[in-house]
Chains A and B, each alone.
Chain A
Amino acid sequence: MAAPQSKERAPVDARPLPEGGAWITAARQAAQARLAGVGLPQRRDEYWKFTRPDDLIAPEAPRAVLFGGDVPEVFGTVDRVRIVFVDGVFDAGASDDLALEGVRIERLAEAAAQDIHWARDLYGALEARGQAPVARPLAALNTAQARDGVLIHVTGRASKPVHLVYVHASETSDAILHHCIRLDEGAELTLFETGPAAARFNKVLEVDLAERARFDHLRIQGPDHERRAITHVFARLARETVFKSFTLAVNGVLTRNECVIEIAGDDASAHVAGAAIGGANFHHDDTVFITHDAERGESRQVFKKVLSNGATGVFQGKILVKPGAQKTDGYQISQALLLDEDSQFLAKPELEIYADDVACSHGSTSGAIDEDALYYLRARGIPRPIAADLMVMSFLAEAVAEIEDEQLREEIMGHFEAWLERRRG
């Protein structure tokens, strides 16, 4: 598999921009300028206080061995359009036909060769908006450097979900993908993303929702132990839109998922949830920034992490309520289940409110497994390791409950249960 980027030893922000048509070249150059303006993340940056950016900005991707075991297909029971990327490179043979009623799907690599494209208003635009008030240099890097991804224009209600399958095949792959999704008025789409993707993965997803549109996002990251990933989701929500995103992450030495949401229209709703589990050198960071800039907006952040053997969990979550965003209802909870005393959870919940008629709450806890519950399960004959896994499922349930669709919820839980079972051996 060709992975030309990994052959270059130049600093990541000094790589030459890919060739392309006029519209994308303009977007890439603008992103390159944004990146030059803010610079790569440094350890001393407040926003990177809990997560070392070193591996994410190293000239070459740190080597990551592949996950040895068999991993059953996720969402196998769901009729969907599969689009496969192997180490960030599109695999036409493994992908389905990109035709889907009510949806236009194109590859960025093809669109980028054109001189003009609808995505010019979106590609890098939400990322650029998301650079203030906090810089997100690795997202700008992505906009500047991405060679592929998907551009999806949803004009109606998509008849089936789109599934981006990320296969990790090379131990040194350094993948960058950039996806844009535009949902027209009243349009609906469900997007799945699954797989370890690469040794190092930088991904941006920009989602623009017009009035009354709905976007459901389900993502599973894992299970490779050594993979590293920095991902950004940028979403802008017009009036009466619904945005829902859930991520299950297992394993990986470094994962930072940033989610930047702008509630721009009244009566919009944004729910972001995550369940993460890992041990030892597992480092998992959820960084969420939700801006309420319209009335009667509702947002929820529900993040749960299960940490063991010295693993680290990070949560940075902010709700910003701008002046005039009255009747905002913002909720945020982040919790860690620490399976031993070597693991740590670092949480930085923030509320910043400039409107006087809002309801916002946040909470953060970390704790151990409830010994009474464990004893109860064991007293019924359930061996300790299985009982502990049941308690893990119990702990994550609140986050998983954020998945509205029962079939998909059960699909994810079934996948997760099977993973726990394999892990117990």
Chain B
Amino acid sequence: MLEIKNLHVDLEEEDKAILKGVNLTVEAGKVHAIMGPNGSGKSTLSYVLSGRGGYRVTQGSATLDGADLLAMEPEERAAAGLFLAFQYPVEIPGVGNMTFLRTAVNAQRKARGEEEISAADFLKLVREKAKTLRIDAEMLKRPVNVGFSGGEKKRNEILQMAMLSPRMCILDETDSGLDVDAMKLVAEGVNALRDENRGFLVITHYQRLLDHIVPDVVHIMADGRIIRTGGPELALEVEKNGYADLLAEEA
């Protein structure tokens, strides 16, 4: 479903190579995890896939269901079914969470040539999804992410994911800044969305998130490349021995 081939990416401003030939395929119905030390390029990969500015692809390709992601605007990628749960969700004062969600849902529907969702159906859907994530009515009314705690911001990301029901979900360090309870709640939200038609790419520094969102495949990324691929046991190995051993092996 998501196919990344020999992806090379530079930072636009510094002419510095960040990704140096990433190869990765995520199949529908599977959860892949990418682990790696800080600065290995994990987050850059998520930004490049979702279309953030400031990066230059020098080589390689990334497709979703055969469509060239790299040729699309960020909103087109979203409409094509790609979703990135941000590590640092952005605060947008003055724009209500509900307005934001409804605008996003309808924009994607419009882009796919579907009818806009009615106000009543939207309300019903958002209440239902919010309830399982323990997001109350007050949080839905507030401006997007403004005054939200770390846990609330991440739950809000998962709510957006649930509302947009994407084909391919990328979670960028969703566990950062979360306590155990919040992490469980977020993981439950993600697990509820696991589906044979949907793929996940979970980017994380620590293994602990993967206790709750159990991956099918684990990749280790270092210096802009994937250096090891294995099963869930690879994550446990990292937890036990750290990245140093793996990096040493590679060297």
Contact = CB atoms under 8 A, between A and B. Distances in A.
Given A382-B103, A382-B107, A394-B95, A376 B78 contact: no
Given A379-B50, A381-B164, A390 B100 contact: yes
A381 B95 contact: no
Interface residues of A, number: 26
Nearest to B109: A381
Contacts of A106: none
B128 interface: no
Given A375-B74, A386-B103, A390-B103, A381 B111 contact: yes
Contacts of A380: 75, 78, 100, 104, 107, 160, 164
A387 B89 CA distance: 16
B92 A372 contact: no
Most B-side CB within 10 Å, residue of A376, A379, A382, A387: A379
Contacts of B107: 380-383, 386
A393 B164 contact: no
B75 A393 contact: no
Contacts of A75: none
Interface in A320-371: 370-371
Contact of A394 (B94, B103, B108): B94
A49 to B, nearest CB: 32
A397 B93 CA distance: 7
Given A371-B53, A386-B103, A390-B103, A379 B93 contact: no
Interface residues of B, number: 30
B75 A378 contact: yes
Interface in B69-119: 73-75, 77-79, 83-84, 86, 89-95, 99-100, 103-104, 107-108, 111
B224 interface: no
B51 interface: yes
A391 B160 CA distance: 19
A371 B12 CA distance: 15
Contacts of A372: 90
A306 to B, nearest CB: 13
Interface in B152-202: 160, 164
A396 B95 CA distance: 10
Contacts of A375: 51-53, 74
Contact of B73 (A376, A384, A386, A400): A384
B95 A393 contact: yes
B90 A373 contact: yes
Nearest to A376: B90
A303 to B, nearest CB: 16
Nearest to A417: B99
B64 to A, nearest CB: 14
B75 A381 contact: yes
Nearest to B90: A376
Most B-side CB within 10 Å, residue of A373, A378, A394, A398: A378
A390 B95 contact: yes
Given A379-B51, A380-B164, A383-B107, A394 B92 contact: yes
A387 B51 CA distance: 15
A191 interface: no
A90 interface: no
A87 to B, nearest CB: 36
Contact of A397 (B75, B84, B94, B111): B94
A382 B107 CA distance: 6
B74 A378 contact: yes
Given A381-B78, A381-B79, A382-B103, A376 B94 contact: no
A377 interface: yes
Contacts of A382: 75, 103-104, 107
Contacts of B94: 393-398, 400-401
Nearest to A394: B94
A383 B104 CA distance: 9
Contacts of B74: 375, 378-379
Interface string B43-63: 000000011110000000000
Contacts of B95: 390, 393-394, 397
Interface string A383-425: 1101100110111111011000000000000000000000000
Given A381-B104, A383-B75, A398 B93 contact: yes
Contacts of A379: 50-52, 74-75, 77-78, 83-84, 86
A391 B103 CA distance: 13
Nearest to A373: B90
A47 B51 CA distance: 48
5 contacts: A379-B75, A380-B100, A381-B104, A390-B92, A401-B94
Interface of B: 50-53, 73-75, 77-79, 83-84, 86, 89-95, 99-100, 103-104, 107-108, 111, 143, 160, 164
Given A376-B90, A381-B108, A381-B164, 15 more contacts: A375-B53, A376-B89, A376-B92, A378-B73, A379-B86, A380-B78, A384-B75, A390-B95, A390-B103, A391-B92, A393-B94, A394-B92, A394-B93, A400-B94, A401-B94
Interface of A: 370-373, 375-384, 386-387, 390-391, 393-398, 400-401
- Nearest first, the 9 A-B pairs at minimum CB distance are A397-B94, A381-B78, A378-B74, A381-B108, A380-B104, A376-B90, A394-B94, A378-B75, A373-B90
